[in-house]
Amino acid sequence: GENVEQHPSTLSVQEGDSAVIKCTYSDSASNYFPWYKQELGKGPQLIIDIRSNVGEKKDQRIAVTLNKTAKHFSLHITETQPEDSAVYFCAASILGSQGNLIFGKGTKLSVKP
Amino acid sequence: GAVVSQHPSRVICKSGTSVKIECRSLDFQATTMFWYRQFPKQSLMLMATSNEGSKATYEQGVEKDKFLINHASLTLSTLTVTSAHPEDSSFYICSAIDSGRTDTQYFGPGTRLTVL
């Protein structure tokens, strides 16, 4: 079955700096990769997703890159702000598979003002 | 759009009692809903997949008689923790897939269950 590894487990940056979180997956059939942000005591919120037919997707300060050959994808947050502090989860699934997501273990991002 | 609600947000109960948690898709129809459990500082663990009008599919190791799931309509799924014990204390989160967009899971805000 699919296995998703996520690094680092914790990440601390200064406000204004960039943050990068990386994930690798094992199943080459996976073709949908969402990223979720979870604040303390709340449910995960989808922040960006990418399908395997594109290599990069950007939404304002957030971007995701995908390397299908190497089976890894990354989340990039530029100009970080204190409100970006949260736990971020990557996930992988196969489109049309009823949406079963395999999650990484999460990255706790702390943005220091 | 794509809002999922859960009720209650927090519940405290005594050992041996049952607790029902509701998950609703507010502005879309969801043929499939998922129930997750999350322990502190850990990732989400899928418990079961709930399809409207049919029996839920449980993940290995999840007791279907203890965690009863009902998906009676396209906007509502319920999780009932029966005969709750302190080890059932956890954060329970549901998610739903928009029937019109089958690829994206939208998560509810979660329910914190504490069993005394």
Q: How do residues A25-84 score in pLDDT, each as one tens digit?
A: 999 999 999 999 999 999 999 999 999 888 999 999 999 999 999 999 999 999 999 999
Min Cα–Cα distance to chain A from B18, Å? 23
- What is the per-residue pLDDT for B54? 84
Contact B114, B11 (CB under 8 A): yes
Looking at the partner chain, which of A34, A100, A103 has a beta carbon nearest the beta carbon of B104? A34
Splitting chain B (116 residues) into consecutive groups of 10 residues, what average pLDDT does each group show?
92 96 93 92 92 88 94 92 96 89 85 96
- Asked if B107's CB is within 8 angstroms of A44's CB, the reply is yes
- What is the per-residue pLDDT for A67? 95
- What is the per-residue pLDDT for B1? 66
Q: How far apart are CA B39 and CA B51, in angstroms?
A: 25
- What is the per-residue pLDDT for A98? 64
Contact A38, B36 (CB under 8 A): no
Q: How far apart are CA B105 and CA A24, in angstroms?
A: 20
Min Cα–Cα distance to chain A from B46, Å? 9
